[in-house]
């Protein structure tokens, strides 16, 4: 008997019992269910929630694979700086990938294992079907944490994020905040020493602190915030050969992912575009402030304010946040006009937090969480504005 038949029998056996959602979910996850609706007319579309989630995951896979290579590359390049002279020859090596396998894969496994366990428990307790929402969250989480994050911390954060960020509001589709970012925010506030500084971004840098083999892995934003020179070229920054969270360094591959999401109409191009525009506008404003000599290099904000505006778009987590996080259809704005405002403010506030918080120079996750909270308000005013406009039009006609 095939696995599919076995699962089907198990599902039938447990039908109507408490454990039913768990078997249902495994069956649906692995195979196309063999039940079809009978009677009536139905609108048929190829994209269900499962397929939508799968496409997002596929769009994330390039970032994940790149992140695995980059984990090793940053580690070896921090030990031997000469590797950076020929990136392409030293990047796609098995040694690099091996470090990615031993460091990144456990993050992915813990993220999925713990998160899905929580989802299954809630589905069984509340007696509803297991929802697909966590499939994407589970993939996003390992990509937005530093490489050396201890696994137990990740597990605690995932439990917190899924329960407090999502399940208390009623599960997938009801959450106000993006669960992946809730997890990231929890880690940031709970364990700040593991989430910031110049040690956590490169594998093994924490263990080597204080020894003769000490290595540093300052992020570009960290260097700029301290007004230091950066050794990476624009090409490095755009392609992602730089230290950072696991999967967010490569702006190029993120744009590839964005293309997939926009082509399949899963992500809103309005949000992505307006987020980049918002970031660029804020960057330009800061550049103008520096150009007008309002602020001098004695200020602690000078380094990041002086960063050329287009460079802000390629460094840090801005691109990743704008493409994969801000476009979450549940927590983002729903109306087209609202999407423009929502995206613009995300980019705008991201760069603002980035510049004005030199101790932790990144603000994308905070900006997106903030705008998640405001998204319903934005939508409300967009809809009300439309209602008013139409009322006015009818009044004119009557008169």
**C-alpha span between 141 and 128 (Å, rounded):** 25
Q: Smallest distance from the beta carbon of 152 to another protein, in angstroms?
A: 7
Nearer to another protein, 110 or 341 (CB): 110
217-143-120-13 Cα dihedral, nearest 10 degrees: -130
Kindly state whether residue 192 participates in binding another protein, applying the rule CB under 8 A. yes
Q: Which two tokens stand for residue 45?
A: 């579309």
Q: Is 191 in the site for another protein (CB under 8 A)?
A: yes
Q: Which is nearer to another protein, 186 or 324 (CB)?
A: 186
What is the per-residue binding string for another protein in 244-263, x denoting contact by CB under 8 A? --------------------
State in angstroms the smallest separation of the CB of 77 from another protein.
27
Q: Is 206 in the site for another protein (CB under 8 A)?
A: no
Reduce the DSSP state of residue 82 to 3 states and report it.
helix
How far is the C-alpha of 84 from the C-alpha of 24, rounded, in Å?
Answer: 50
**294 binds another protein per the rule CB under 8 A:** no
**Closer residue to another protein (CB): 153 or 277:** 153
Residue 164 interacts with another protein (CB under 8 A): yes or no: yes
Residue 192 Cβ vs another protein, minimum distance, rounded to whole Å: 6
Measured from the CB atom, is 33 or 150 closer to another protein? 150
Which residue in 236, 243, 239 sits closest to 199, CA to CA?
243
- The secondary structure of residue 169, as a DSSP letter, is G
List all residues 6 or more positions away from 395 whose beta carbon is below 8 Å from its beta carbon: none
* Coil/strand/helix, residue 398: helix
Q: In terms of Cα–Cα distance, which of 374, 310, 386 is closest to 342?
A: 374
Task: Give 186 or 276: the residue with its C-beta nearer to another protein.
Answer: 186
Taking CB under 8 A as the criterion, the residue among 61, 117, 153, 155 binding another protein is: 153
Contact flag: residue 373 with another protein (CB under 8 A): no
Quote the least distance from Cβ 197 to another protein, whole Å: 14
Residue 94 or 189: which CB sits closer to another protein? 189
- Per CB under 8 A, 150 contacts another protein: yes
Interacting residue with another protein among 79, 109, 168, 231 (CB under 8 A): 168
Interface residue with another protein among 190, 231, 294, 359 (CB under 8 A) is 190
* Least gap, CB of 239 to another protein (angstroms): 34
- In the set 186, 224, 238, 320, which binds another protein (CB under 8 A)? 186
DSSP 131: P
Given 29, 92, 152, 235, the residue binding another protein (CB under 8 A):
152
| Number of amino acids touching another protein (CB under 8 A) | 13
Q: Where are the alpha helices (DSSP H) in the chain?
A: 3-13, 20-30, 49-79, 87-91, 94-126, 134-143, 151-165, 179-190, 192-195, 205-208, 220-225, 234-239, 251-263, 269-291, 302-305, 309-314, 318-320, 336-356, 364-398
First to last CA, the chain: 75
Q: Which of residues 193 and 296 has its CB atom nearest to another protein in the complex?
A: 193
Kindly tell me the sign of the dihedral angle through the C-alpha atoms of 106, 321, 265, 166: positive
The binding site for another protein (CB under 8 A) comprises 150, 152-153, 156, 164, 168, 186, 189-194
């Amino acid at each position: 008997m095939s696995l599919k038949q076995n699962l089907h029998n198990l599902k039938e056996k447990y039908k109507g019992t408490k454990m039913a959602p768990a078997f249902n979910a495994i069956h649906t996850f692995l195979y196309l269910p063999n039940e079809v609706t009978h009677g009536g007319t139905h609108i048929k579309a190829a994209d269900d929630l499962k397929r939508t989630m799968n496409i997002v995951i596929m769009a994330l896979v390039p970032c994940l694979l790149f992140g695995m290579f980059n984990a090793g590359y940053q580690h070896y390049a921090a030990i031997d700086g000469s590797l950076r002279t020929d990136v392409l020859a030293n990047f796609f090596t098995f040694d690099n990938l091996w470090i990615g396998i031993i460091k990144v894969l456990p993050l992915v496994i813990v993220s999925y294992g713990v998160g899905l366990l929580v989802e299954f428990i809630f589905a069984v307790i509340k007696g509803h079907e297991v929802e697909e929402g966590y499939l994407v969250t589970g993939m996003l989480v390992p990509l937005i944490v530093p490489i050396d994050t201890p696994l137990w911390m990740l597990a605690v954060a995932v439990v917190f994020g899924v329960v407090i960020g999502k399940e208390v509001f009623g599960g997938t589709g009801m959450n106000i905040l993006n669960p992946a970012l809730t997890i990231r925010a929890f880690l940031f506030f709970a364990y700040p020493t593991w989430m910031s500084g110049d040690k956590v971004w490169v594998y093994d840098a924490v263990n080597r602190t204080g020894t003769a083999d000490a290595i540093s892995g300052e992020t570009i934003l960290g260097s700029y915030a301290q007004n230091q020179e950066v050794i990476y070229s624009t090409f490095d920054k755009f392609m992602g050969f730089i230290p950072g969270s696991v999967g967010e360094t490569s702006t190029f591959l993120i744009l590839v992912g964005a293309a997939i999401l926009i082509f399949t109409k899963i992500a809103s191009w309005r949000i992505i575009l307006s987020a980049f525009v918002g970031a660029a506008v804020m960057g330009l404003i800061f550049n103008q402030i520096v150009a007008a000599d309002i602020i001098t290099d004695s200020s602690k904000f000078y380094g990041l304010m002086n960063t050329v505006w287009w460079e802000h778009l390629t460094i840090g987590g801005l691109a990743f946040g704008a493409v994969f996080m801000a476009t979450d259809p549940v927590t983002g704005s729903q109306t087209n006009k609202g999407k423009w405002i929502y995206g613009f403010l995300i980019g705008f506030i991201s760069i603002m937090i980035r510049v004005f918080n030199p101790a932790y120079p990144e603000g994308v996750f905070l900006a997106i969480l903030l705008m998640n909270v405001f998204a319903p308000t934005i939508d409300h005013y967009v809809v009300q504005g439309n209602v008013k406009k139409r009322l006015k039009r009818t009044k004119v006609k009557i008169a």
